[in-house]
Chains A and B, each alone.
Chain A
């Protein structure tokens, strides 16, 4: 039963179920985990199969529940703590920054903390400033945490399996829009943390993308290809450890880089990639590194402003044109992703 077609949400649920079948020390908990909506379907079926001892909801206590996950992890279990929004995870930031990340070091290597914190990025339908954050750079800034952002159904499965197996704390950040994406999942593919992947080969330009921006980058590359520009798309997947080699190999080839990050640009992950590439390939770059991300404002709720806030395939294309001194491509006949077609509120 190696290969099946499914949605991203089902791949997440299957990864957790397979891990729980294999290892009795794995358990899943967090607000809304066992209810009828089951975190947009990503914990569906778990309560039924594994029971309320291993699959349960919690009081609204993110700080202590993060500490509880850590307490269980350092005493031999493998908790998966789920947050329906990254924004809510911030209530556990004291534990993450002061305890989870440092406990092994503080113990001189006596303890390990194998735990996964899953968190969903919201977008659209008026999610607004407090339901739409990503903040992967917050977590990757701190030594002791691995940070994973899958963008395909296969990676949802295999990187979540790898995160659960990993003996370090892993922050696993999932974009809500990706939940609807369908794809093939081969359960025999073993995921490995710390590896980026080239999603599309190209010689003219590298686009390094995170999470949903990989979808936008592939769309942009498809449009650019029709106009003679071959963009290479590197899906970062692992924010930390960062696979610098794959990124540098690509930019070595293309000489041009757009970092299309799904977060604010200021002091963000895109700065890290830009600095890394500028440092290693200073003489090879044909153009300064370009960075795309959220506008530097809190996420607006109303649609017209929200549309201005997010980076998109169109922005990638316009940036590429500038970098390559091209005429502006007529995009009026291209179909770009609109969640109106896929996604209805309220969540």
Chain B
């Protein structure tokens, strides 16, 4: 990559960190509340991976403009989508509304944690079937090409998605048509409980992706600065070379595949691997911010601000009504009058 990263002020770094912190604190809140059994939705928590979605988003928002829809920047994600939902929407009310299945949720309770979306803020769709949003991002970029409009489509997916046929079909087509789509692999080495060495028959993701006419870079997904700077370079390079891009970021999944708990007691992996702060993107970002002149007091103030906001949003969600019965039939069809079966 010959392109350079964007120069950032202390405030800009802090703002990206603040998004990560919000995602972390929202998910910690879910962990606190989950066993009250009021959130009846399977949660795939992204604790440990926040720097990837928040870093990519912060980089792209800086380069293309913070208003995703206005700048025609479209994000797609997976069921582990809380970070990208909060990074794009910055909306804790619709976030918790959806967790509680309330009509105030982003999907009016029909989506749940696995299908969070906020098209008005650029997060077009997320999905609970592995790999299914990869071609959607390619189609979004294809639409831009058909219409001759400037756009960028970004899709996040886990390393398991690289085993799906749709992944190869999508990368192939994007490379063939030189589509403006950025593939971002959030690589935690695990597909549910299965490590990559049990799953992958290829030697190197880099070699595999570079076998296509697609730009590639990889890095430490727990390092906010690295994620942002690699994204800066990648999107500049994609524009310059008129090619799709691929970023692979490693991270450590702190919790079980689905649910709010740790899962070390099952013995398939050891907690020792994660105990150190070297895997925690929040701790690492805070250490970096301090080198930029951010103080402990500023960090504490941000945490306090987020905590108050989250508590307020949870309360609003708890108090909000469930969708009324007629919502069962609404939103299947585009017509105002739903097409009823009987």
Q: Which residues does A use to contact B, with CB under 8 Å?
A: 24-25, 27, 53-54, 58-59, 61, 63-77, 79, 94-95, 98-99, 103-112, 114, 143-144, 166-168, 194, 241
B168 to nearest A CB, angstroms?
8
Docked Cα-Cα span, A46 to B126, in Å, equals 34
Given that A105-B331, A109-B330 are known contacts, is A65 also in contact with B135, CB under 8 Å in the complex?
yes
Interface-side segment among B110-118, B266-274, B288-296, B297-305: B110-118
State the majority secondary structure of interface residues on A. Answer: loop
B296 to nearest A CB, angstroms?
40
A107 and B334 contacting across the interface, CB-CB below 8 Å: no
**Residues on the B chain within 8 Å of A75, using CB:** 74, 124, 139-140, 143-144
**Residues on the B chain within 8 Å of A104, using CB:** 331-334
B289 to nearest A CB, angstroms?
35
Interface-side segment among B100-108, B194-202, B237-245, B250-258: B100-108
Docked Cα-Cα span, A98 to B125, in Å, equals 13
Interface-side segment among B44-52, B59-67, B169-177: B169-177
Docked Cα-Cα span, A166 to B335, in Å, equals 9
The 10 closest A-B pairs by CB, nearest first: A71-B139, A67-B135, A64-B169, A68-B139, A167-B334, A61-B169, A71-B136, A108-B107, A109-B331, A72-B143
**Residues on the B chain within 8 Å of A95, using CB:** 132, 135, 166
A277 to nearest B CB, angstroms?
14
Docked Cα-Cα span, A55 to B39, in Å, equals 47
Contact of A59 among B134, B140, B176 (CB under 8 A): B176
A71 and B135 contacting across the interface, CB-CB below 8 Å: yes
Q: Mark B146-168, 1 if CB is under 8 A from A, else 0.
A: 11100001000000000001100
A105 and B110 contacting across the interface, CB-CB below 8 Å: yes
**Residues on the B chain within 8 Å of A112, using CB:** 334
B136 and A114 contacting across the interface, CB-CB below 8 Å: no
Given that A103-B125, A105-B331 are known contacts, is A66 also in contact with B135, CB under 8 Å in the complex?
yes
Docked Cα-Cα span, A241 to B165, in Å, equals 33
A110 and B146 contacting across the interface, CB-CB below 8 Å: no
What are 21 A-to-B residue pairs whose CB atoms are below 8 Å?
Answer: A27-B146, A64-B165, A64-B166, A67-B134, A67-B138, A68-B135, A68-B138, A71-B124, A71-B135, A71-B139, A76-B147, A104-B333, A106-B115, A106-B125, A108-B109, A109-B108, A112-B334, A144-B333, A167-B334, A168-B333, A168-B334
A65 and B173 contacting across the interface, CB-CB below 8 Å: yes
Given that A107-B125, A110-B117, A168-B333 are known contacts, is A99 also in contact with B111, CB under 8 Å in the complex?
no
A227 to nearest B CB, angstroms?
38
Given that A74-B124, A106-B110 are known contacts, is A67 also in contact with B143, CB under 8 Å in the complex?
no
A67 and B331 contacting across the interface, CB-CB below 8 Å: no
- Identify the closest chain B residue to A114 (Cβ): B334
Docked Cα-Cα span, A73 to B281, in Å, equals 36
**Residues on the B chain within 8 Å of A194, using CB:** 339
Q: Which residues does B use to contact A, with CB under 8 Å?
A: 74, 76, 105-111, 115, 117-120, 124-125, 127, 129, 132-148, 153, 165-166, 169-170, 172-173, 176, 330-335, 339, 341
B19 to nearest A CB, angstroms?
22
Docked Cα-Cα span, A64 to B157, in Å, equals 15
Docked Cα-Cα span, A143 to B331, in Å, equals 11
- Identify the closest chain B residue to A113 (Cβ): B334
B120 and A110 contacting across the interface, CB-CB below 8 Å: yes
B117 and A106 contacting across the interface, CB-CB below 8 Å: yes
**Residues on the A chain within 8 Å of B169, using CB:** 59, 61, 63-65
**Residues on the B chain within 8 Å of A76, using CB:** 143, 147
A64 and B120 contacting across the interface, CB-CB below 8 Å: no
- Identify the closest chain B residue to A58 (Cβ): B173
Docked Cα-Cα span, A75 to B75, in Å, equals 11
Docked Cα-Cα span, A71 to B166, in Å, equals 13
A107 and B107 contacting across the interface, CB-CB below 8 Å: yes
Given that A64-B135, A95-B135 are known contacts, is A108 also in contact with B106, CB under 8 Å in the complex?
yes
- Identify the closest chain B residue to A75 (Cβ): B140
B108 and A108 contacting across the interface, CB-CB below 8 Å: yes
**Residues on the A chain within 8 Å of B137, using CB:** 71
- Identify the closest chain A residue to B146 (Cβ): A27
A107 and B127 contacting across the interface, CB-CB below 8 Å: no
A297 to nearest B CB, angstroms?
29
Docked Cα-Cα span, A289 to B82, in Å, equals 53
- Identify the closest chain A residue to B340 (Cβ): A241
Docked Cα-Cα span, A194 to B335, in Å, equals 13
B123 to nearest A CB, angstroms?
10
A108 and B331 contacting across the interface, CB-CB below 8 Å: yes
Name the residue among B111, B135, B147, B341 with the largest chain A CB count within 10 angstroms: B135
Docked Cα-Cα span, A138 to B341, in Å, equals 16
Name the residue among A73, A75, A143 with the largest chain B CB count within 10 angstroms: A75
**Residues on the A chain within 8 Å of B107, using CB:** 106-108, 110
Name the residue among B74, B129, B333, B339 with the largest chain A CB count within 10 angstroms: B333
A61 and B173 contacting across the interface, CB-CB below 8 Å: yes
Contact of B111 among A59, A67, A107 (CB under 8 A): A107
A67 and B136 contacting across the interface, CB-CB below 8 Å: yes
Docked Cα-Cα span, A59 to B166, in Å, equals 12
A54 and B146 contacting across the interface, CB-CB below 8 Å: yes
B335 to nearest A CB, angstroms?
7
Sample of 12 more A-B contacts, CB < 8 Å, known A59-B176, A61-B173: A53-B148, A59-B169, A64-B134, A73-B139, A75-B74, A94-B132, A95-B135, A99-B132, A104-B331, A106-B107, A111-B119, A167-B335
Docked Cα-Cα span, A272 to B201, in Å, equals 46
**Residues on the B chain within 8 Å of A74, using CB:** 119, 124-125, 136, 140
Given that A24-B147, A63-B135, A241-B339 are known contacts, is A72 also in contact with B165, CB under 8 Å in the complex?
no
**Residues on the A chain within 8 Å of B124, using CB:** 71, 74-75, 111
**Residues on the B chain within 8 Å of A111, using CB:** 117, 119, 124-125
